[in-house]
Amino acid sequence: MTESSKPILYSYFQSSCSWRVRIALALKSIDYETIPINLIKDQGQQFSQEFQALNPMKQVPTLKIDGITISQSLAIIEFLEETRPTPCLLPQDPKKRAQVRMISDTIASGIQPLQNLSVLKQVGQENQLTWAQKVIHTGFNALEQILRSTAGKYCVGDEVSMADLCLVPQVANAERFKVDLTPYPTISRINKTLLALEAFQVSHPCRQPDTPPELRA
């Protein structure tokens, strides 16, 4: 692969959606270039005309790969899965595959968007922490229950799947918002097991090109 055709990931170190994609790229051993989009600096670099032309939703992650530009983390992960199927992130069994998608969507549609930066701006500074904690607790109460019936070593059985790529960044969000994880032993156990894997470590927010020095590990 020539240098110019290396995939480009537009990412923000602390974006949980970007982290999902970084894990997938690491697991599939895909070499890529990062272009940081700082969601806070300059009133949010995602609002620049240049970036809006790439992603009309003005969000990260956005991936340029194989001559196309893809946004939305789950769409990106599914594209990587279909074009670079090893290691497999969606089980062959249709029932397990449905469970993986159900868990991924529970996080990607039902929890994360309700506590992300754009929503927190709307609820006002003094309500942000309470709001985020309430949203995450509601989602985690459901997720803990789901995982009790689907989990093995990981979210669905004993193979890492797209569901795990969604879980770890969301637990990191929960910790950032000081959510007590004691009521969620299954979530906590799976998260701990996943964080020991290299792909989850190299993609971690504390190890990105745009991570501020004080947050680096």
Q: pLDDT tens, 100-128?
A: 999 999 999 999 999 888 899 899 889 99
Reduced to 3 states (helix: H, G, I; strand: E, B; else coil), residue 10 is strand
Has this prediction a pTM greater than 0.85?
Answer: yes
**Mean pLDDT across 3-18:** 90
Every domain of the chain and the residues it spans: 8-87+206-215, 94-200
Helices (H) and strands (E) in the chain, counts: 9, 4
Give residue-wise pLDDT tens across range 153-166: 999 999 999 999 99
Reduced to 3 states (helix: H, G, I; strand: E, B; else coil), residue 70 is strand
Helix segments in 84-184, DSSP class H: 94-110, 117-123, 128-150, 162-176
Q: Which CATH superfamily is domain 8-87+206-215 in?
A: Glutaredoxin (3.40.30.10)
Q: What is the CATH number of domain 94-200?
A: 1.20.1050.10
